[in-house]
Amino acid sequence: MILQALAFYVFAFVVMASAAMVVVSRNPVYSVLFLILAFFNAAALFVLIGAEFIAMILIIVYVGAVAVLFLFVVMMLDINLTELREGFLKYLPVGALIGLVLLAEILLGLGVIGSTPSSLGALGKAGPQVLAIDNTRAIGRVLYTQYFYLFQVAGLVLLVAMIGAIVLTLRTRPGVRRQRISEQLYRPKGDAVTVVKVPTRGGV
């Protein structure tokens, strides 16, 4: 258990530290990189409580796809760092308020505040349980039976978002030459190549 406890404290400390660095660091590229570090360590914490499927999905979706796009955008933009810093103090109270609300929600949800001591005991049991089936299978069974329609609706929402993104960015500009692979492949030899008999000293 000592190894697990050690791992937990290391990962938890790095999550907190890197999350703080996301906000504090001056360079937006550093912020994104610290965000990735935070995702990673959060995934490690998921593994420690036995939720390996969620951990892997966190890395695949957030680190593998979303953060890459973030990094792309941040690297390509020409961001003025001093301008970015100016709003920091102005937005600090609002940010702190939102943070407090989220913290209160977590504490309420876990039953730490506003409940009896017995629910605190239930918190201690929220640790890993030895399940007969692994959690990939467990999630699959719930997702594709009980919540099947909600799952489909989530898919539709994503589809709408995707169509929206395509509609917003798709422009047909006139005068742009496009390559049509099928036309190129169907082009007969006669159109492309002409064999010329060149007379000696005559040239073409």
Partner 1 sequence: MTADLIHFFTHNWLGQAIVILAQCLAVTIPLLVAVAYMTYVDRKVWASIQLRRGPNVVGPFGLLQPLADGLKLLLKETIVPSSANGVLFIIAPMIAFMTALIAWAVVPFDDGWVIADINVGILYLFAISSLGVYGIIIAGWASNSKYAFLGALRSAAQMVSYEVSIGFVLITVLLCVGSLNLSKVVLAQSGWFFNWFWLPLLPMFVIFFVSALAETSRTPFDLPMSEAELVQGFQTEYSSMPFALFFLGEYANMILLSALCAVLFLGGWLSPIPYAPFTWVPGVVWFALKIAFLLFVFSWTKGTLPRYRYDQLMRLGWKVFLPVSLAWVVITAAVLQFGGWVPKL
Residues that bind partner 1 (CB under 8 A): 1-3, 29, 33, 36, 52-53, 55-57, 59-60, 63-65, 68, 71-72, 75, 134-137, 179, 181
Rank residues 15 and 37 by Cβ distance to partner 1 and give the closer one: 37
Rank residues 110 and 139 by Cβ distance to partner 1 and give the closer one: 139
Amino acid at position 71, single letter: L
Rank residues 133 and 198 by Cβ distance to partner 1 and give the closer one: 133
Beta carbons of 55 and 43 less than 8 angstroms apart: yes
**Measured from the CB of residue 185, what is the shortest distance to partner 1 in angstroms?**
13
**Measured from the CB of residue 12, what is the shortest distance to partner 1 in angstroms?**
19
Per-residue CA distances from 58 to 12, 39, 62, 73, 121 (Å)? 16, 7, 6, 21, 29
Rank residues 10 and 92 by Cβ distance to partner 1 and give the closer one: 10
Helices 28-48 + 67-76 axis angle, to 10: 170
DSSP letters along 2-39, please?
HHHHHHHHHHHHHHHHHHHHHHH-SSHHHHHHHHHHHH
**Measured from the CB of residue 114, what is the shortest distance to partner 1 in angstroms?**
36
**Measured from the CB of residue 69, what is the shortest distance to partner 1 in angstroms?**
9
